[in-house]
Chains A and B, each alone.
Chain A
Amino acid sequence: MNGGMNVSMNGDLHERARSLIDKERVEGLAAPELRWLADHLGACEACAGRAAATDAALRALRTMPVSVPSGLATSAQLLVRRRAEELRVQHARNVALAVSCILSWVVGVASAPLVWRVCAWLGREFDLPRVVWVLGFGFWWLVPAAAASGVVLWYRSRAEREVS
């Protein structure tokens, strides 16, 4: 009975040592665990062998030769510089577009009373129903803005496609 318990206790000790060997490398150990493990490894050849095998596996991983294709960085640098230039040009174009949209809106707002009067005058001259020249004014106001919005959205979606 006692012998069985000893075997089981020894098994538990080795199990604990094996788990600490891995834990030390993955997460690190607290000082008491580290001391316990060092004592155990000093006394147990099998567990010391396992620790050595673990270190060998990690050394193998760390020193595994991977040779980089020649010119990899240079070609990436060229590609990135070219794309950066494209993005810069695209950005400048977007800024120009945004500025022209804003200017167009400001001019549109400023000239709205005048255009309203012109539309009303045309309506009177050609004897048009009020709804017609009001709609005409509405189109004059909406169509350029809608076209500009369409262009902006198209540019944007194209830029996003290119980036992704």
Chain B
Amino acid sequence: MDGNQHIEKRVLRLDGLTVGYHINKHTTREVLSNLNVELRQGELICMLGANGAGKSTLLRTISGVQHPLAGSVKINGRDVNEYGRRELSQLISLVYTDNTLAGGLTVEELVGLGRQPYTGFFGRLSEDDHRIVSEAIAAVGLTHKAADYVSCLSDGERQKAMIARALAQETPIIILDEPTAFLDVASRIETMKLLHNLAFNNGKAIILSSHDISQSLMLASRLWLITGDGQLIDGVTEDLVLDGALNRLFPDRDVTFDPTIGDFFASTDSHRVVKLACHEPLLCHWFTNALNRNNIITTDDADIAVEVLGRNKFVFDGKQITGISSLLSALKQHFAD
């Protein structure tokens, strides 16, 4: 399977979309205004933004649960709210982190629920349906747990089972609201990698909201940055990182985006500055980390310099120092005087 064969087809388009709420008959509260973006098959979109910026509202509007205040969401060229219930359930599948009463179903039964848009009145699964369900379970790597109760799964496995359920729904678009919240690091990475593969290999168009900056930067085809002032910045990850657009995510907060590391850090405005002379990138990274933690900023135009000779060898103030803790005490001593 080749991801490129799908990549041209546009499946979703936001056309001058304004999302928000009706407070009463005459007043509305706009959360995001005049959005114009599109989504193609095989793309994995990670939506980043502060809590309350409007990520969930936008996802609800895209999935047709909530009506837009203005503009439209078009799937395959047709307005999302013009589709019938059943038609829409064959176009978009959703994954939430809701608590469910599904603990008493087996993984197979849970994933089988994803076939409901296709089954008859009593929801009985045909042979074809069973095959699709097994394939979906295999795709998320839960085949060995297919007969287990959902309540016996770990959080990460449960999330994969919910993704398998979405796969069984066989929709071109999958929307996930914070799919990696509550998961440990390993499950978070596995889940993101799984979603990336589904987009890249199976041509699914996936939109997810996330707070996991580093995973999103690594795996997203494009980012949708929801800024604090109701804007959506759409772009290829690297463009946005290198243009400094990430810093618009939390404009009023005490955090800064570090493009070399690819994550947010607490802003430091210390007057303690040193020049760090260092040749090996790995050591450079970690000794900068140690200095920042001690409220010392590294710049090239500082008066005093620390030279890194090796893993445990430093030169500071003309003296040779052994070990990072000794270096830090020497620096502390220096700035205290």
B is bound to A: no
A interface residues, Cβ below 8 angstroms from B: none
